[in-house]
Structure 1
Amino acid sequence: MPTPKASPIELSQQQHHCLTQIVRQTTNPYRLVRRASIILSAASGESNTQISRQWQLDRNQVRYWRQRWLDNQERLALCEQVDDSETELHQQVLEALTDAPRPGVPPTFTPEQVIQIVAIACESPQDSARPVSQWTPEEIADEAIKRGIVPHLSASSVRRFLGRGSAAAPSESLLAQC
């Protein structure tokens, strides 16, 4: 049984130039260069199987990026008609070749909260009326909750913020002199 024929990709001269630029720039990430090369190969008439062999990829990956380009082709053509700027087209091409946002849980702590928690570690525990000579992750978490920075915070999160993974009590200050 023959495999279904892949949808053909037709590139405008500007799109081809933009993709070629991406492939030739040595500072671009490899995944971006590979995706641009997939589109250029597809536009030259190569099949998904040929492209997957050439780039040592699964055929589904090639199929995905071919379809992703086709889904964005109308937007790219409109961009070329509306805006003569090559910069805008380049930006739209990069958007088409960039990973889609992945699902997942949003961050629990804002960068501002993390900074405030790290700032607590830079203070002396005695300034916060703590009966310890050095901060521990548990004490920092408790102080952050007490100050209203966060509603809840675990000692392991504090360790992560401070770049320490060990659960043992530190033999010296958690941070160098701040």
Structure 2
Amino acid sequence: MPNPKLPELVLSGVETRTLQGWTRRRKTAQALALRSRIVLRCAEGGSNSEVAAELGIQRGTVAKWRSRFVADRLDGLLDEPRPGRPRTITDEQVEEVIAKTLESTPDNATHWSTRSMAAESGMTQTAVSRIWRAFGLQPHKQESWKLSKDPLFVDKVKDVVGLYLAPPERAVVLCVDEKSQIQALDRTAPTLPLLPGTPQRATHDYVRHGTSSLYAALDITTGKVIGRLHARHRAIEFKKFLAAIDKEVPADLAVHLVMDNASTHKTPAVRRWLLAHPRFVVHFTPTSSSWLNLVERWFSELTTKKLQRGAHTSTRALNRDIRAWIETWNDNPRPYVWTKTADHILDSIAHYCRRINASGH
């Protein structure tokens, strides 16, 4: 005989199939599967104590889920959303931190740190760090930039980028520049080798053994480099380098040179040489726009992979290493692929200028 004190529990056909499915599905949470078994057994009849004994659980657990099901049916068996810890930082506090970070500096420093901003705002360092990460703020970082004032900036960008994206037929495009004053440096003590758990170590001080200048021309199509080393970097050396290019590039090809406005590139002697060699066409990059010359990317790779941690006791040893590196590079050249159009570059610069003006700087 049913216990008159227990709430009546009668299942519909849909509820029965749903509960049976919850007990059988592999991906059902074990807590939900147990609650489903409790309700199914209770619907068959029996007291809470009997159901608890059969399922090996507490009587109070059976009573709880029987009542929840009677009140809310299937939804009553699902976990209610937990509110979690109440929010302790308001939108106004977040706005205050962002505004101070962008518009002010501490009295004793040039930029905010998480510690100084935490002391200023009354928050924890962790809270400040989370706010900065959420809004992409990095006060500890500073990058260099320079906007070209070249009156022909737009025309020169379109000219150079046009060469990169659509090189002319029957011609080679060479990015030309010199890396001057490369120092032959030797550490004052031997460099200690790399060990497990210990990086390679070198003394901070060094001895200078002279300098060398590298002239390089990067073929944008093949990635190969024509390089010449000289003790100095004057117009005389640059004209010798042009002659070396003329000798190495097949005579039936036009030569387009992308280079900057350095004074050594524009002397009367260089101009006369270019007039005497009409297959050479010069394309000047805008002033303060070395990023537009692809050979600068190659110079960066040379620096990081060979020069930065190298040790040389003479300029002869330095030059030998550089020549060997160029030969290795040319054995497996990797051209740098330019992807941005001139319009894209100019739009990006215009957008950045608008952002700076809008910020009040």
Native 8 Å contact 1:72 1:96 kept in 2: yes
Query: Which residue identity lines up with residue 9 of structure 1 in the other structure?
Result: L
Q: Which residue of 1 aligns with 2:45?
A: 45
The reply to whether residue 98 of structure 1 matches residue 78 of structure 2 is yes
CA distance in 2, matches of 1:61, 1:29: 17
**d(CA) in 1 for partners of 2:59 and 2:111?**
60
Identity %: 26
Residues 157 and 45 (structure 1 numbering): CA distance in 2 closer, same or farther, change over 3 Å? farther
4+ aligned runs moved over 6 Å, structure 1:
112-117
**How far did 1:17 drift?**
0.4
1:109–1:51 Cα change, 3 Å: farther
- The Cα of 1:21 is off from its aligned counterpart by 1.2
Counterpart-to-counterpart distance in 2, 1:37 and 1:115? 48
Larger Rg: 2
Q: 1:109 to 1:41 in 2, by over 3 A?
A: farther
Among candidates 82, 88, 96, match of residue 108 of structure 1: 88
Residues 126 and 157 (structure 1), Cα distance of their counterparts in 2 relative to 1, 3 Å cut: closer
Q: 1:135 aligns with which of 113, 116, 125?
A: 113
Alignment-derived partner of residue 154 in structure 1: 123
Q: Is the 8 A contact 2:105 2:111 kept in 1?
A: no
Higher strand share: 2
Distance in structure 1 (CA, Å) of the matches to 2:86 and 2:70? 30
Structure 1 residue runs without a partner (length 5+): 74-92, 146-152, 163-178
1:72 matched to which residue of 2?
Answer: 72
2:351 aligned partner = none
Relative to structure 1, the CA distance from residue 126 to residue 69 in structure 2 (aligned partners, 3 Å threshold; closer, same or farther) is: closer
Contact map agreement 1:8 1:45 (CA 8 A) in 2: no
Partner of 2:26: 26
Q: CA deviation at 1:29?
A: 1.6
Shift of 1:72: 2.3
| C-alpha distance in 2 between matches for 1:108 and 1:157 | 13
One-letter amino acid matched to 1:135? S
Structure 2's unaligned 5+ residue stretches are: 132-361
